[in-house]
Amino acid sequence: MFMKSALVALGGATLAAAVTPLEVQGNQFVNSKSGDAFQIVGMAYQIGGSAGYDPSHGKDPLSNGDICKRDAALMQELGVNAIRVYNLDPNLNHDECASIFNAAGMYMIIDVNSPLAGESLNSGAPWESYYAGYLNRTFAVVEAFKSYPNTLGFFAGNEVIDNVKTGATVPPYVRAVTRDLKNYIKNHADRAIPVGYSAADVRDVLEDSWNYFQCAIDGDANDMSRADMFALNSYSWCGESSFKESGYDQLVAMFKSSSVPVFYSEYGCNTPSPRVFTEVGTIYSDQMMGTFSGGVVYEWAQEKNNYGLAECNDDGTVNLLSDYATLQNQYKKVDFSKVQSIKATNNKVTPPECKASLIKEDGFNNNFTLPAVPPGAQDIIDNGVSPKPSGKIVEISDYSVKHTVKDANGKELSGLAVKPLADDAVNTPGSTGDSTTSSGSSDSSHNAAPTLAPQGAASAAAMIIPAVVALCFTAGFTLI
């Protein structure tokens, strides 16, 4: 997938062309126009952490266009082609941010849950949190994002199963939510949008979680409760590791027969710190690409857990950390024009039939009788949420970044702007031109001491109708 560009007057309004919606074919994401298999080069994006989601004050990570423009421009230079967003308010307008990321050639992977009460499944007692009001909110997230062409998919749950105890009760409810979301999308969206699960990389329950969600009840491959994709938050590659030392070889062996796409929904161990991101070359190599569909680096904005690539300050300014340049350099070592131009195999993988023998861990749920749709929820599935959020790609009058951004050496970047890509183009590392951002880092810019791997959150998602023609800014990074 190569990027095309055209010149536009700085500040001139453009309606960005749409990225091509992706389809699930067997165990691959596929560009429906080119027929190429798609590898996710993703970034976890949750500005402000949990505090960045504040419905009472009309605030979530995709509600401020200027901030999205700032971060999309920086991620575009980095080479990101997808963002994962955890906590979103379906009642806010996300048109500007969705349009900016679309113009930059980036897809959105969206969690439909949030940490707030009543907005996610309770892993301790999932039957208490699975009711019509909860589902209504998840459907509202779908409504808010289903019409954006760059909505890649939705996560029905994130790390809800993290041990055998939760594995005993939670799986049927996550699968029920998956069923309800897919039925809602079937009734109210103009295309199929994948729904899946983001798992904790806890090996005691990982394989059983995957099998529980990918299998077909009664052998029906069209079973609506079956996940369309499976992802894992994995931090097993730390520092100068290797395919075998990290256990990546075990993950490839585990998922090689997957009937759905598998990818890292989070990766990037921060021990040692600063990070070296040596796993990048392996993730996008022949060793893994036949089984995995890429991954999402955790995370964009620096928080207390010390996984950020950038310090995003309250006044809108940004200080890039050394991890940004390190990751960028690792991406540059990969031939992404080759990675993203591999034709899909078109192999139809038959999912395993759901049966008790599929589950290996003693105590993990092996019953595939799912909870019935809660009272009142079927009416919402049939007729839609009310009031109904909506989203559409909008015209962006100016793609230039207004906020001050400094590299890891403290040097200010100038001429920073999102470069709108041509129709059907997707962002690729190195395709927007070499940035003059320093790859070095000052002592004060190094990341803090390492911490344990983070626990993910949950969120919203969406999508919209294709657009027209995209033009491209000639402005790039320069130091002043």
Indicate the burial class of 302 (C-beta count within 10 angstroms; 0-12, 13-18, 19 or more).
buried
Residues in the chain: 480
Closest C-alpha among 155, 66, 170, 67 to residue 109: 155
Catalytic residue among 143, 266, 279, 303: 266
Distance of alpha carbon 311 from alpha carbon 301, whole angstroms: 6
Token readout for 437 is 């951002």
Distance of alpha carbon 427 from alpha carbon 430, whole angstroms: 9
Token readout for 411 is 């040097």
Residue 382 has φ and ψ, to the nearest 5°, of: -75, -40
Sheet with 405-406: strands ordered across: 310-312, 318-320, 405-406
Token readout for 250 is 């075990």
CB contact set of 166 (below 8 Å; sequence gap of 6+): 123, 124, 160, 205
Amino acid letter, 123: S
Q: Within 10 A of 374 (CB to CB), how many other CB atoms are there? A: 17
Catalytic residue among 143, 159, 207, 303: 159
Residue 266 among the catalytic residues = yes
The residues assigned a catalytic role are 159, 266
